Amino acid sequence: MADTGFLPKEKLKDFLEALSKDAVVYAPALEGDIVLFKEYSQGKDLYLDRPANLGPKSIIYPQCETLLSFDFKKNDPEDPKKVDIELKTESNFANTVVFGCRPCDAKGLVIYDKVFIDTDTADPYYKERRDKTTIISFACEAPFAGCFCTAVGGGPADTTGSDVLMTDVGDGFFFEALTEKGKAVLKSVPMQDGASYKEKAQKIKSEAEKKIRNPFPKDATEKLSQKLFDSDEFWEKVVSKCISCGACTYLCPTCYCFNITDEKTKDKGERIRTWDACMFNHFTLETSGHNPRPSKLKRFRNRVGHKFLYYPEKYNGVIACCGCGRCIRYCPASVDISEIVGYLKDPKQK
């Protein structure tokens, strides 16, 4: 038995504790009224009732990470102008388990993989974290406000990007290993055989799938209307209310744009990589002072374009949106990207 397993609900914490012996385990926890991924420690409460406000992306792709540190050293007393630079990189990422993220969160990581790993020059920082992390996703029984995963090729029990999929079957959780990493995790912890729960889990999963809304018109085309996409009037109509903050991009499991800055005190410092957001004016501001996307309309258009046009063009039609609904749920002005893409997909729109 390694491909499936079953755990009664009261045994879930024992499972996490067993996993914590060999890895750092992150699990959703309640922080005030919001849900965040926190390092799991013995006895800590879990919170699985709704998706985390901020998914697990920051564990594998941190909002701020040091790429290297530098130190300017004057080693020659005869020549004070001679400066040596000492460079250091450090890597201390431990084996990690992300427990209880949603299938959309895991799917988001696959969008990152194509950019950071599946290239001629893989990003060593991201790759190390990704390789050392096992993802145990929790299938959704029903959608949450704003969710539209099935409309963008995912689903409430989609397995893309997950190593293990866990389904709530009432009196306990049914586990399915999806990868070698997943099998290893299930093997490492004593668990009941899950075979008898497989059918029930399947039923729950397909019921859930039917409940997800499809925001796109019934006769929607795959392609977006280029004419509408190029219309300033259209963007003015749909995003005048946008306040140009970075909430949508930072909470998005598929947004990966970053900034690199040298943060330096007198003679030493660090080169850091931090998340950046295409909704900020500075994002495309050039040193000349010219800004190719000077208005929020242009910036929002790019955000939609990146996810639904440019990324699919580059990566075999894959849409860079997992339909988690966070950008809709937490938008200060309730801008709804699914509504906007719906207009762009509607063949009646000219």
Partner 1 sequence: MSTEKLKEIILKVLPDVDTVIGWQEGFDKIHITPFFMKSPEDAEKAVWNSLCVQNLAAYLPSLKKKTAVIVKGCDSRTIVQYMQEGLIDRSNVVIIGIPCTGVVSVKKVLKAVDYQPIEDVKFSDEKIIIKTSKGEKTLAIADVCPDKCKTCQYPTPIVYDHLAGDPIESTKPAESVYEDIKEFEKKSLEERRDYFKNEFDKCIRCYACRNACPMCVCQDSCIAETRDPHWITQKLSSEEKMMFHMIHAVHLAGRCVECGECERVCPMDIPVAKLKKKINSEMKELFDYVPGVNPEDKPPMYTFNVEEAKIKEHKL
For binding to partner 1 (CB under 8 A), which residues are involved? 31-34, 36, 49-50, 53-54, 63-64, 142-146, 236-237, 240-241, 243-247, 249-251, 259, 261, 263, 272, 274, 277, 280-282, 328, 330, 332-336, 338-339
Tokens of 17: 């504790």
Query: In the complex with partner 1, which residue's Cβ is closer, 192 or 291?
Result: 291
Query: In the complex with partner 1, which residue's Cβ is closer, 117 or 245?
Result: 245
Query: In the complex with partner 1, which residue's Cβ is closer, 176 or 301?
Result: 301
* Smallest separation, CB 307 to partner 1 (Å): 17
Query: In the complex with partner 1, which residue's Cβ is closer, 83 or 243?
Result: 243
* Smallest separation, CB 330 to partner 1 (Å): 4
* Smallest separation, CB 234 to partner 1 (Å): 13
Inter-residue contact 284 to 300 (CB < 8 Å):
no
For residue 248, which phi and psi values (nearest 5 degrees)?
-60, -45
* Smallest separation, CB 347 to partner 1 (Å): 22
Query: In the complex with partner 1, which residue's Cβ is closer, 173 or 250?
Result: 250
* Smallest separation, CB 31 to partner 1 (Å): 7
Treating both helix axes as pointing N-terminal to C-terminal, what angle do 232-239 and 337-345 enclose, rounded to 10 degrees? 150
Query: In the complex with partner 1, which residue's Cβ is closer, 273 or 306?
Result: 273
Its sign, for the CA torsion 235, 256, 333, 151, is: positive
For residue 173, which phi and psi values (nearest 5 degrees)?
-115, 135
- Which of 53, 60, 57 is CA-nearest to residue 36? 53
* Smallest separation, CB 216 to partner 1 (Å): 14
For the chain, how big is the Rg over CA atoms in Å? 23
**137 has which bridge partners?**
101, 165
CB environment 183-198: b (16+ within 10 A), e (fewer): eebbeebebbebeebb
